[in-house]
Amino acid sequence: MNRTDYLIIGNSVCGVNAIEGIREYDPKGEILVLSDEPFENYSRPLISYYLGGKISQQQTRFRDESFYSDMKAQLLVNNPAVFLDCRNHEIKVSKGRKIRYKKLLIATGAKPWIPAIDGFANHLEGIFTFYSMNDAISLAQYIQSLNPHNCVILGAGLIGLKAAEGLLMRKIPVTIVEMADRILPNTMDVKGSEIFQSYLVRHNSAFMKNDTIVKIESKDKRIKRVILKSGKKIETECLIVAVGVRPNTSIVAESSILVKRGIIVDNKLNTSVPDIFAAGDVTESPDFFENKHALIPIWPVAAKTGKIAGANMTGQEISYTGLYPMNSIQIFGLPAISFGITNPQPQNFEILEKYQPENNFYRKCVLRDDRIVGCILIGNINRAGIYNLLIREKISVAAFKKDLLEESFGFLMLPKEVRKHIVVGESMEV
């Protein structure tokens, strides 16, 4: 296929949802998907369980093997797009092939960010990122062949802690180095971070906060130790760099598409160039709370924007009203979910909390004008969907504020008029 009606660059959750969005309105148009990876699809949140040996590579799929044939979509794996010619509606792939499109979706996601570290070199053995299935496979093979006695992880965010979980499943002790004063700094507040740190310490983890790696020392082309800014040295044969991701905008670098930190899109997921859409982690899209664009590189946003972009590529005019940070994590059976604004300045918000660290339980609601704008749930997360709906629908909680932190809080505790709104309103699509 040298030309197609719909061309999608990227085959993660955003691209897959875009296929479904297209097919909802156009059952016949040709769809071609380019992927720079060798896999049909996989769930990034599950790669830690693959690393830990708990599931197979096949079990990381989030769509079955017949998905692409059922959708009448052609997938080309190991075919990265290398050049975009907006004027001629054309993409060049790495093997020299050119593909013309009518509508294009850029769903290239993000890529790990590697900070400047003295002694870092791509050819050194034992240094990994932990973002893709290839990362997990390479790390698993290295561990199996070398059997390292410990591993250092740079970064205590969601990616770093999930990498730690996979290693700890293999009984490999980890030392986690974090520049901030707490772990999960972008997801949790101090109390939530304390619960997870204490929990992980009991599972053979050590933490070095307010610190970072400034130098890597190697021997025979393999990492041997890391040196921290504080002067501490850690002997290790395995380092995972997990300090964050950046939008993968390389395909538009030489184009006229407007890019700041990510590709700028409007509320229909259009870029600044006609017939080209973008969605997911590669974009700066409308923010739910503020009248501005924001980078929110999370699975729910990628899924939602991919579906809307796919629909709009067929000529629909569906608006994306914005989402907010939504992070879910479970480590060794301890679940947590956070929504929205979780660590604000108290003078501008009302904070409700219930904190029981001895039981690994924490519940926090952040309110502004009697409406929930943020939430942290650790331990018992069974009612997370209700809190999310209250945020999305901007429903006043004044009448039942006193019940928000109770473990028994649920749908039936909401006033009748609120229950009716949630049942018949837009929330049903969530």
Regarding whether 370 and 309 lie in a shared domain, the answer is no
In a domain, 117, yes or no: no
Mean pLDDT of 203-230: 96
Bridge-partner residues for 350, per DSSP?
A: 367
pLDDT at 235 over 80: yes
Regarding whether 251 and 231 lie in a shared domain, the answer is no
| DSSP per-residue codes, 331-351 | ETTEEEEEEE--S--GGGSEE
Q: What is the CATH number of the domain that holds 349?
A: 3.30.390
| Average pLDDT of every residue of the chain | 92
- The pLDDT score that the predictor gives to residue 29 is 97
**What is the span of the domain harbouring residue 83?**
3-111+246-313
- The pLDDT score that the predictor gives to residue 128 is 97
Residue 20: its H or E element: helix 13-25
Last residue of a domain, one of 197, 214, 243: 243
Regarding whether 10 and 107 lie in a shared domain, the answer is yes
Regarding whether 107 and 16 lie in a shared domain, the answer is yes
Angle, CA of 346, 430 and 392, to the nearest 5°: 25
> What does pTM read for this prediction?
0.91
What count of Cα atoms within 13 Å lies in the side-chain half-sphere of residue 161?
A: 28
In a domain, 330, yes or no: no
Regarding whether 214 and 363 lie in a shared domain, the answer is no
Contacts of 101 (CB under 8 A, 6+ apart): 3, 4, 5, 6, 7, 32, 89, 90, 91, 275
Mean pLDDT of 204-233: 96
Please give the Cα distance from 187 to 339 (Å, whole number): 9
Last residue of a domain, one of 228, 243, 258: 243
In a domain, 328, yes or no: no
Regarding whether 211 and 271 lie in a shared domain, the answer is no
Q: What is the CATH number of the domain that holds 20?
A: 3.50.50.60
Domains in the chain, number: 3
Least Cα distance to 242 among 135, 125, 332 occurs for 135
Regarding whether 415 and 376 lie in a shared domain, the answer is yes
The percent helix, strand, coil of the chain (3-state, each to 5) is 30, 30, 40
Regarding whether 209 and 106 lie in a shared domain, the answer is no
> Token pair 């965010």 is at which residue?
157
Residue 309: its H or E element: helix 299-313
Please give the Cα distance from 75 to 101 (Å, whole number): 15
Amino acid in the structure at residue 101: Y
Q: What is the pLDDT of residues 15-67, one digit of tens each?
A: 999 999 999 999 999 999 999 999 999 999 999 999 999 999 999 999 998 99
- The pLDDT score that the predictor gives to residue 1 is 55
Last residue of a domain, one of 193, 217, 243: 243
In a domain, 263, yes or no: yes
pLDDT band at 180 (very low <50, low <70, confident <90, very high): very high
Amino acid in the structure at residue 282: V
Helices (H), 129-259: 133-146, 158-169, 190-201
**CA dihedral over 193, 199, 200, 206, signed as positive or negative:** positive
Contacts of 141 (CB under 8 A, 6+ apart): none
pLDDT at 425 over 60: no
Regarding whether 103 and 36 lie in a shared domain, the answer is yes
- The pLDDT score that the predictor gives to residue 422 is 62
In a domain, 381, yes or no: yes
Regarding whether 182 and 171 lie in a shared domain, the answer is yes
Regarding whether 49 and 9 lie in a shared domain, the answer is yes
In a domain, 255, yes or no: yes
In a domain, 81, yes or no: yes
> Token pair 């930190």 is at which residue?
261
Please give the Cα distance from 129 to 273 (Å, whole number): 33
In a domain, 322, yes or no: no
Please give the Cα distance from 210 to 178 (Å, whole number): 6
13-41 core/surface letters (b: 16 or more CB in 10 A; e: else): bbbbbbbbbbbeebeebbbbbbbbbebbb
Regarding whether 238 and 256 lie in a shared domain, the answer is no
